[in-house]
Amino acid sequence: MQRLLLMGLNHATAPLEVREKLAFSTTQRRCALRGLRERFPGAEAVILSTCNRVELYVSRPTHELPRPEQMVDFLGRFHQLHPDQFSPHLYHKANVEAVAHLFSVASSLDSMILGETQILGQVREAYDLARSEQSAGLVLHPLFQRALAVGKQVMTQTTIAEGQLSVASVAVDYARRIFDQFSDKTILSVGAGKMATLVLRHFAQLSPGRLLVCNRDHRKAEELARRFQGTPAAFEHLSQHLVAADVVVCATGSSEPIITAELFEPLRKLRRYRPIFMIDIAMPRDIDPRVGELEHVYLYNIDDLQQVVRQNQSQRNGSLEAARRIVEMEVNSFGQWHRAREMGPMIEQLYARHHRMAQDELRRTLNKMPELTDDQVAHFEDLARRVVNKLLHDPVQRLRNGQMPHGMQQTYVHALEKLFNLDPPTTPKQDDDAEGPSAT
């Protein structure tokens, strides 16, 4: 039997300072998945790393590795951190709880901004990456496919994502609280990725005086600048651009801060102490938090902006309840499907063994009663089959639909294996079940 484990931290359990230390870039995720497979060959793994969470999903045979403490050790080793630095912020879930968590995550019910749609793309990306690294297998394939379907179902069948404030719109709102007009302002984007594009799209609507796009890859900067009628700016002259800028949007993939207090402090005089609004939506952060302590600097990171979105969002109680119901139903459905899939071979063995025994005993009895007609023999055979089916019905049903805790279920399965001398069940072929349970 397979055991599903989840180890992670999110915006509710860990501050930004901890999350950014554990965050994985795409390249790092690939390395980590390969590392995990090398260290624990029998395990499947998916790593979900967003600005709000870092989660490691692992599926492995019940009595094999990794155990939770080894997953913590793996995360620590990978990021060269001592487990004490992050383990108090970790949560650990297994089996049904892990499934419920993933479904909630994909449905944005666990997001800082309820109803945000970006998370669905991030879950898909995590799954695609694991698939390309061949680290998702018999359990994680159907699990993530189902999670994506549930997320989509929640977004389309409820109103949870309607009237949604975004981080970008909140950033613009804050800019309006600092600046009155933008026709004489310069907006600088450091980074030309998806997040920067998203925020720039909102800022471009303010018709700023100048829009600069600064990126290490100048070609990408040119592309983005062209899109918003801006000007590409050389990354090497970042200091000069910071002198000119009134609003700075930072969203690079850099693992170290790009704008440090040491860099920015001397620029304030050159800026003639003009106020500057800095938006750091990168993970890990691009702007040293000490910059925000300087006078005339208004620095907002992803948590600050999301907090505002969360405060401002309407309760959406109705849609929230509806979304929770969908998730709950899908978790049960997936659980049943998964149990049936895992126990199917064992139950088949159980029935086959008992029918075989019944047939053997019946044959022995029938040999002593040669006067019986074919019809009568058929009746006896039918009787034996029905007796076996009736005897096994209750325990099998309980195993299939059982609402029992995972440990108990495992115990029952082992007991059955031992008591009835069954072979341990083999996992069905991936091709048969990769699609998972049908959508409800």
Partner 1 sequence: MSPNAGQLGLLTVSVIFFAVGGVLSLLRVFRQKPGLRLPAKICAYFGIATSLAVLIWHARMRGSWYPLEDNFDALIWLGVLLALFVQYVQRQRPLAGLDWFIMPVVILLLVAAGIFGQISPREYIDSTWSIVHRVTAYGGAAVFAVAGATGAMYLIHNRRLRRKTIRPEFEFGSLERLERFSMASVTLGFALLSVGLITGVAQAIHMGPYTRLGSHWMTQPKVLLAFAVWLIYALVLHTPINPRLRGRRAATLSVLGFVLMVGALVAVQFMPGGTG
300 near partner 1, rule: CB under 8 A? yes
Phi–psi pair at 103, nearest 5 degrees = -65, -40
Pick from 39, 43, 49: which is nearest to 19 by CA? 49
| Of residues 181 and 411, the one with the C-beta less far from partner 1 | 181
Strands annotated E in 34-159: 44-49, 53-61, 91-94
Binding to partner 1 (CB under 8 A): which residues in 236-275? Answer: 272-275
Q: Provide the minimum distance between the beta carbon of 263 and partner 1 in the complex, in angstroms, as a whole number.
A: 20
380 near partner 1, rule: CB under 8 A? no
Binding to partner 1 (CB under 8 A): which residues in 303-332? Answer: 304, 307-308, 312
Binding mask 276-295 for partner 1 (x = CB under 8 A): -------------------x
136 near partner 1, rule: CB under 8 A? no
Phi–psi pair at 9, nearest 5 degrees = -145, 155
The token pair that represents 438 in the structure block: 């049908």
Q: Provide the minimum distance between the beta carbon of 154 and partner 1 in the complex, in angstroms, as a whole number.
A: 28
Q: How far apart are CA 437 and CA 340, in angstroms?
A: 11
177 near partner 1, rule: CB under 8 A? yes
209 near partner 1, rule: CB under 8 A? no
Q: 212 and 245 in contact (C-beta within 8 Å)?
A: yes
Q: What is the dihedral of CA 218, 222, 225, 227, to 10 degrees?
A: -140
Q: Using CB under 8 A, count the residues that bind partner 1.
A: 19
Q: Provide the minimum distance between the beta carbon of 176 and partner 1 in the complex, in angstroms, as a whole number.
A: 6
169 near partner 1, rule: CB under 8 A? no
Pick the binder of partner 1 from 219, 296, 386, 398 (CB under 8 A). 296
Per DSSP, the three-state class of 51 is coil
For the chain, count helices (H), then strands (E): 17, 10
- Residue 338 to residues 41, 142, 143, 153, 332, Cα–Cα distance (Å): 22, 9, 9, 20, 10
180 near partner 1, rule: CB under 8 A? yes
Q: Provide the minimum distance between the beta carbon of 209 and partner 1 in the complex, in angstroms, as a whole number.
A: 14
Per DSSP, the three-state class of 249 is strand
Q: Provide the minimum distance between the beta carbon of 290 and partner 1 in the complex, in angstroms, as a whole number.
A: 14
163 near partner 1, rule: CB under 8 A? no
| Of residues 300 and 334, the one with the C-beta less far from partner 1 | 300
Of 173-181, 210-218, 323-331, 350-358, the window that binds partner 1 (rule: CB under 8 A) is 173-181
| Of residues 88 and 275, the one with the C-beta less far from partner 1 | 275
- What is the total residue count of the chain? 440
Q: How far apart are CA 334 and CA 437, in angstroms?
A: 6
Q: What radius of gyration do the chain's Cα atoms show? A: 29
Binding mask 406-435 for partner 1 (x = CB under 8 A): ------------------------------
State the alpha helices, DSSP H only, in 214-300. 218-227, 238-244, 261-264, 267-270
Q: Which residues are catalytic?
A: 51
| Of residues 184 and 435, the one with the C-beta less far from partner 1 | 184
Partners of 45 in beta bridges? 58
181 near partner 1, rule: CB under 8 A? yes
| Of residues 222 and 304, the one with the C-beta less far from partner 1 | 304
Q: Which residues bind partner 1 (CB under 8 A)?
A: 174, 176-181, 272-275, 295-296, 298, 300, 304, 307-308, 312
